Structures are given as structure tokens and as C-alpha cells.
Chains A and B, each alone.
Chain A
């Protein structure tokens, strides 16, 4: 039980002062090196958003900006022309939110209930069903393109945001079910038995006992689903076009808009903008994300 304060294991706790110092130095040098390597592309893209187009053309991508302007950000957001409309990425941004938010909420909610049933209300064949559901995790998205085209066509949802919401909700269920089931399986069955004796039914146990214990896995699934759906490109490109595209597909359309001249600075601003929502989600919940993923791994 959590009576004693948690003390982190420190492998360098013993040994000479010198040994401790050299090990620490090596560790931090390595970590800093890798961090720089990962951050460098982001920095370069960001610097390019600040530079005028002629400077980029003249000096290439990698250079320090001589003059700084934020006008490309505004242009990318509101007035740049993509595929005939001149609204910038704001419209596609909205599309992506309209797609990612409902799909995340729906797939997480259904995944929670699935996981609850598959871990705490086990029935004959529950393992088989779970196996089939998680098969979806390993199924390449390309394989599902044709069936989805058929379904969307029949439902009249081709080229709509709702169609994408449907796809992402169902495609995401494999992951959310897997996550939630594996998390709930560690909740002692005695709690459910006690609640049943206390007179609580299926939904009351879910609402009062399971859900209050779920924040760690909730954060994991929400981050996983939101970033996954936001960054998804294939379905967006295949099933939507023009004004109904999510931002990932729109940005590609953007760079290939065919006017001949490439607006690298505006494109760079658009790319960075499209990366902001998953980044915010991760910055807010990242700590819980790592903790949630490793939960129950060591016990």
C-alpha cells in the first residue's frame, strides 16, 4: 500500500564522486544532442515562416532571417488561395476540428464501454470478440479503403466531414477498446462484486466506480485518438475534396496548387499551425500519457 513515500531508484547512488560526475556528464551530453537533432527541423521551418520569399529563394532554406515578419502567418491563416478559394487554412482547420473532436469523443466513449464489458462482464466468447476487435489495430488502413468507399457511398456520406467522423470513430475503436480493456482488467473484480451486492447495476457501476478510476486511460486514449485523427491523411485525401478536406490533405493540395510559384514561407506557417493542436494536447497531457501507457506494466 502507498504508506511509504516513493523513493526513485538511483543507480548512481553509490560510487566515487568522479564516477558520478562523469556518468552524469555523458548522460546529459547525449540527451542534449538528441534533443537538438529532433528540434532542428522545427526551428528551421519556424525561421522560414519569418523570412520573405525572395530571401528563401536566394539563400536557400537554411539561413538566419535578415528581416522578420509575421505577415505570412496571417496570410496562411486567412487569405492564401488554395484550390480556388482564398480563405487560407482557417476553413480546413475548422474541418479538422469538426472531424477530430467528435470522432475522438465517440471512439473513446465507445471504447470505454467496450473495455468495461470485455473486462468486467465477461461472457462466453468474450476473448474471441476481443481478439477480433484488436485485429483492427494491425489492419493497414489501405485495406479498408474500398469497403469504406462502398459504405460512405451507400450512406450518402461521400465528401462529408460526417463521413470522416464515422470512419475515424470505427477505425479508432480497436485501439480504444484495447487500451481500456487492458486498463480495466487491472481493476479488482471484488469492486464489481461489492457494488453488485450493494445493488448497483451495469451503468451505475460504470458511472460511479469505473469512470472515476479511468482518468489515466482516458487521457491516453484521448491523446492517441486526437493526434492520430488530426494527423491522418489517407482517408481525408481519398474521401474528401475541395472545401471539405481536413487540414492534412489541404496542406498537400496547398503545396501543389499549380500556380508555379511556391510560397515556402506561407506553407511553412500553415504546416506549423496544423501541428499546434496535437502539440497542445500532448503538452497538457503528455505526463499522464507516458504514465498511463506504462501503467500495470511493472507489478
Chain B
């Protein structure tokens, strides 16, 4: 049984359609991340699931029950807000008991639940404090605690980590993942941060301009993006998009970079089907799929690589890796490499391109070929 089912969902404000025909399904216990740039409709979708926004057309079902017109309180959901939305005049304990009081749960049971959840989140020492006396990370924990005491069918997160500083964000990300593993509640998590989506989710829904672009596992989304938008949005640094043409050498189809020396970069077997010579394509390579030729990275896996020559314009060391801003066939490309292997600025180097990992897109439709 699916825990959440969204069918042909649409939302318009006046004449403006902000969500177009969304179809989504989450299995029980699944962690779904809604990800996309701001204005893509992901928060609207979450608000509609929560019952804070009305449904224009389509269906939302929670555990098979149609909830389109149900009030938020009757949907058996809990939500963690970006601003945490802790009730400022209440203590942490009162914040957690407020929802249970509204549902007339006996006092003894309330205390028991709060004790259990507080232990789980390690917020016992904070129970008598007011939200203003808590740090950002503590508020985040309390907000999650408030969601958990309800024992809901569905937990909704609305960009819960955006208000934290970078270090704490990564810590809390791990906490949320651990929490989800131990509690096992179906979760819908809205974020604009593709790394959060990749690390947390069992399935990712990538949204753009009100349209669900792709809904799949993080691995599939990353390796087989359906279109250029998904490919560019997921991954940091971004995937490189080089304009190219399909060429042929020794009977094998390959890619010829526009503005280069005309060398054909042969595609692996089975990838060239449906491509005709002379066809314009976008050649998509992720920064980490370039490597130094002597490493033989692809070959050690039994795959093939081809070597292109790149002019290094700029290097950006980040510590764990070094980012090279290069030009390949006159087109800019970002390459990541080991800090110890980083070339000097201005050097011309050979780079092995992992041809099994590259993506080809149609320049007109931007769909993956």
C-alpha cells in the first residue's frame, strides 16, 4: 500500500498554473525529496499535501484515503517548517504537548510520549526552556520532536535546514537520516539543495517550472537524468554541456566536439543506436568523469575512455578536491581532480573522458538521447 499517492494534481492561482499534472507515489516508510530551484512549485506541492493550500484538480491520497478537502488536522500529518514555527510563548514541553492537547490525549500519555521523543532527540535538558533560549540546531530538534510526538502517517519537511550555518546543516542532515531510519515514517522533504536530496532521499522528485521532471532513485537521477535540466541541477559542480556533432570513424559512431580538431570520440557499444552522423548533440560530462589518462580509471572497470586535450585557465582548490576551469575544444569545461595531481594554470593537459558515463542531449528538446 502506498503511503502517499498524488494523481494528476494541478494548482493555479487566478490564471497562472503553478503546478502542472503532478503524479507521485511514496511507499510506506519511504523518504521522498522534492527538489528544484526556487519558484518551481515544490513548497506549494508540500502545502497542498499538508492541507494548507487548496487543490485545483487532481487527487491527494494518504494511505488510500482521499484528503483533497480534509482540514490539515484531519490528515494525520506533521510538518517541520523552515522557520521551525515553534510557539514562542510556550516552553519546549508545551510546544510538544500542544498538538496532543488539541487532540484530547490524556495527560499521562502525553508525558510518556514527550519523554520518549525527547530521549530519542536528546532534548531532555531543554524541555523547560523557551524557543528563544535555544540555538538553531536545538530549535531544529524541537521542531522535529513536535512532529514526532504526533505519531503521524506522514512527516513533511519544508526546507528544514536552510536557516542553519553550513557546518550544522551537515550535522543535522545526518541526524535527520538517522531519525528516519529509526522511526521509519514516510517522509516528504522539500529542499533546493540537491546534495540534501541526494544524501537523504530514497527517491527524488526533481521539479522545474511546476512540472515534475523526473521521479526516481538518487542513483538513477544522477546517472540517467531524463533531460538537460535534471542533469544540470543535480551534482556540484554542474555537469558540463559541450556542443558537439555525431561523427563516424572506422564504422563506429562517436562524438565530434564543435570547435575542436575534428577527432571522433567513440561511444561505447549500444550507446550509438538511433544517432545519425551529422546530428547535433549536447555532450554532457560531469566534472568527476574527467581523469588523468595514466590513472586508467575507466579501463580498470573494463570500460573505455578517450583522451581530450584541455587548456587550464584557472584552478580553485577546495581542500578535498581541486576544481579546474578549462577549455576543451574552445568550450569551457569544469574538471575536478585530486589536489596533488592539479596542473599549473596555463598548462595544456590530456584528460581521459569516461565515455560510459557521459550523457547526450538533444539540443532542441533537451531530452537525453
A188 to B158, CA, bound (A): 15
Chain A interface residue bracket vs B: 10 to 19
Residues A176-222 near B (CB distance < 8 A)? 188, 190-191, 193-200, 204, 208-209, 212-213
- Chain A nearest CB, measured from B266 CB (Å): 55
- Whether B88 pairs with A200 at a CB distance below 8 angstroms is no
- Whether A198 pairs with B81 at a CB distance below 8 angstroms is no
Residues A1-36 near B (CB distance < 8 A)? 1-3
B222 within 8 A of A: no
B275 within 8 A of A: no
- Whether B102 pairs with A200 at a CB distance below 8 angstroms is yes
Least CB separation from A200: chain B residue: B102
- Whether A198 pairs with B89 at a CB distance below 8 angstroms is no
A200 to B98, CA, bound (A): 8
Residues B72-108 near A (CB distance < 8 A)? 72-73, 77-79, 81-83, 85, 87-90, 98-99, 102-103
A213 to B130, CA, bound (A): 13
Q: Write out the residue numbers on chain A whose beta carbons fall within 8 Å of the beta carbon of B103.
A: 199
- Chain A nearest CB, measured from B143 CB (Å): 9
Interface centre among B72, B78, B103, B150 (most CB of A within 10 A): B72
- Chain A nearest CB, measured from B330 CB (Å): 50
- Chain B nearest CB, measured from A27 CB (Å): 34
Residues B21-80 near A (CB distance < 8 A)? 50-52, 71-73, 77-79
Q: Write out the residue numbers on chain A whose beta carbons fall within 8 Å of the beta carbon of B136.
A: 1
Q: Write out the residue numbers on chain A whose beta carbons fall within 8 Å of the beta carbon of B81.
A: 190, 193-194
Q: Write out the residue numbers on chain B whose beta carbons fall within 8 Å of the beta carbon of A188.
A: 83, 85
Q: Write out the residue numbers on chain A whose beta carbons fall within 8 Å of the beta carbon of B73.
A: 196-200
Least CB separation from A192: chain B residue: B85
Q: How many residues of B contact A (CB 8 A)?
A: 26
Least CB separation from B163: chain A residue: A1
Q: A2-B132, A204-B102, A208-B98 in contact; A195/B50 too (CB < 8 A)?
A: no
- Whether B85 pairs with A193 at a CB distance below 8 angstroms is yes
A190 to B156, CA, bound (A): 14
A103 to B39, CA, bound (A): 48
- Whether A190 pairs with B83 at a CB distance below 8 angstroms is yes
Least CB separation from A197: chain B residue: B72
A247 to B87, CA, bound (A): 44
Q: Write out the residue numbers on chain B whose beta carbons fall within 8 Å of the beta carbon of A195.
A: 87, 98
Residues B109-164 near A (CB distance < 8 A)? 132, 135-136, 146, 150
A208 to B90, CA, bound (A): 9
Interface centre among A1, A3, A199, A204 (most CB of B within 10 A): A199
- Chain A nearest CB, measured from B60 CB (Å): 15
- Whether A199 pairs with B52 at a CB distance below 8 angstroms is no
A182 to B102, CA, bound (A): 28
- Chain B nearest CB, measured from A260 CB (Å): 61
A195 to B89, CA, bound (A): 13
- Chain B nearest CB, measured from A192 CB (Å): 9
> What is the 8 Å Cβ interface bit string for chain B, positions 296-325, against chain A (1 contact, 0 not)?
000000000000000000000000000000
- Chain B nearest CB, measured from A209 CB (Å): 6
- Whether B88 pairs with A213 at a CB distance below 8 angstroms is yes
A194 to B73, CA, bound (A): 10
A1 to B130, CA, bound (A): 13
- Whether B72 pairs with A196 at a CB distance below 8 angstroms is yes
Pick from A1, A196, A209: contact of B52, CB below 8 A. Answer: A196
Interface centre among A191, A197, A213 (most CB of B within 10 A): A197
A200-B98, A212-B90 are known contacts; what are 19 more A-B pairs with Cβ within 8 Å?
A: A190-B81, A190-B82, A190-B83, A191-B87, A193-B72, A193-B79, A194-B79, A195-B87, A195-B98, A196-B51, A196-B52, A196-B71, A196-B73, A197-B72, A197-B73, A200-B99, A208-B90, A209-B89, A213-B88
Q: Which 5 A-B pairs rank lowest in CB-CB distance, beginning with the nearest?
A: A198-B99, A199-B102, A212-B89, A190-B85, A199-B73
Q: List 30 interface pairs A-B (beta carbons < 8 Å), by A numbering.
A: A3-B135, A188-B85, A190-B81, A190-B82, A191-B88, A193-B50, A193-B52, A193-B72, A193-B79, A194-B81, A194-B87, A194-B146, A195-B98, A196-B52, A196-B71, A196-B72, A197-B51, A197-B72, A197-B73, A197-B79, A198-B98, A198-B102, A198-B146, A199-B73, A200-B98, A204-B102, A208-B87, A208-B98, A209-B87, A212-B90
| Interfacial residues, chain A to chain B (CB-CB below 8 A) | 1-3, 188, 190-191, 193-200, 204, 208-209, 212-213
| Interfacial residues, chain B to chain A (CB-CB below 8 A) | 50-52, 71-73, 77-79, 81-83, 85, 87-90, 98-99, 102-103, 132, 135-136, 146, 150
